[in-house]
Amino acid sequence: MKTLIVSTGLVLAALSACSNNSGAGGAGGGSGGIAGSGAGGAPAVMITGDTGSFDNSFLITSCASAGTGFDCPNPPPTAAGCPTTLWMPPTGATAEGIGSTYDETFTVTAADPNQIYDVTVHVQGQVEGRTYTGGVRDAIDSGGNPVLPDPNGVANNLLYIGGKPGTTRVDYNVFMLTIAPPDGGQPIAAAPTFYAFNSVDVTHEGQHFNYQIDETFTFKVQSGFVVTLTNHDSNCIAIKNCGVGGPYGFSSSALCEAQARTISAVTLPATFMGNALPNGGAQPFQTQFVNFQITSIVAE
C-alpha cells in the first residue's frame, strides 16, 4: 500500500511560500521537500541541505563573460584558470580534469526510519549533451527503442537512469543526481542511485547543441539518505543558449544571444552558490541550468 504524503497544488505552494532557499538561490523557494505533517504539525518528510531546499533547487553553469560565437568560459569563481587536477566520477568511471565542478548535498529527514518514500521530481532547464553508459535512456518509443534527442524540439527528455558518465567526450558537461544511504546503512534493493539529465546518443555527442529539457522521474529514499546534485565541466567551456537547432555556428556571441530561448515556467535566482548571476538571473539565460521541483512524495 502506498500513502500520498504531498502532491502539487495549494498545499505545496503554501509550504513553498514559507521557505528560504537563499543558499541555492531558488527564487520562490522550495519547501525543503516538506511532505505532509507529523505529530504537532511537524513535516513528515524533508529534503534539505546547506544550500537550502532540494525542492526548487538548481544546477547552474554560468558564463564568466560573453565568450565568442556559441560558447563561453565557465571557470570556478575562485580560480585563475581551469583546474586540471583529477575529478573522479561515480565508481568505475574514468577520471577527468576537475575543471569547474561543484556538489550540492541534501539529507532526507523523516519520522519513520524504516519507511521507503517515492519522491517524484519535475526537471526543466537547458543543457548541452553528454553520453552516459551502463544504464538506460528514459525516453523510448512504442517499439521500445530510445527516442533520439531533437535539437529543434522544445521539450527533450534526456533523462538517463543508472550507470555513469561516458568516457569519450569528457569536455562536455555532466548534470547528475546520486543517492546514498547513511554511513553504515544499506541501499534500497533494486532502486537506481544514479540519474543524469542531459543524455544524448553518440550521433549527437560532441555537437554544439543546447537542448531544452522537460523530464519527470521518481527516486526512492529513506530517512538519513543523502541526495547529491553534481555539475561537472572538465574544460570550463559551456555551450550557450542560442535557441533551437544546431550544431551552432554563430560567428559572434551577439548573433547567438539574439536566438536565445526563455523557459517561462522557471524563475532563476539572482545569485547562486554565493555568486551573482548575469543580469540578476533574468532570462533568456546565456548558458545552462537544471531546475528540480518536487511534485509528490509517496510512502510505500
Average pLDDT, the chain: 87
Q: For the chain, which residues make up each domain, given as ranges? A: 61-288
Q: Are 129 and 158 in contact (CB under 8 A)?
A: yes
- Tens-digit pLDDT profile for residues 142-159: 888 888 899 999 999 999
Radius of gyration from C-alpha coordinates of the chain: 19
Flag whether pLDDT at 19 surpasses 60.
Answer: no
Cis peptide before 247 (omega within 30 of 0): yes
Which pLDDT belongs to residue 120? Answer: 98
Cβ-based neighbours of 149, under 8 Å, separated by 6 or more: 129, 156, 158, 200, 201, 204, 209, 211
pTM of the model: 0.89
The SS3 of residue 228 is strand
Nearest C-alpha neighbor of 31 from the set 112, 119, 127: 119
Give the end-to-end CA distance of the chain in Å, rounded to a whole number: 6
Better-predicted residue by pLDDT, 247 or 6:
247
Flag whether pLDDT at 32 surpasses 80.
Answer: no
Which pLDDT belongs to residue 35? Answer: 52
Which pLDDT belongs to residue 146? Answer: 84
The rounded distance, in Å, linking the Cα atoms of 53 and 36 is 16
Which pLDDT belongs to residue 1? Answer: 63
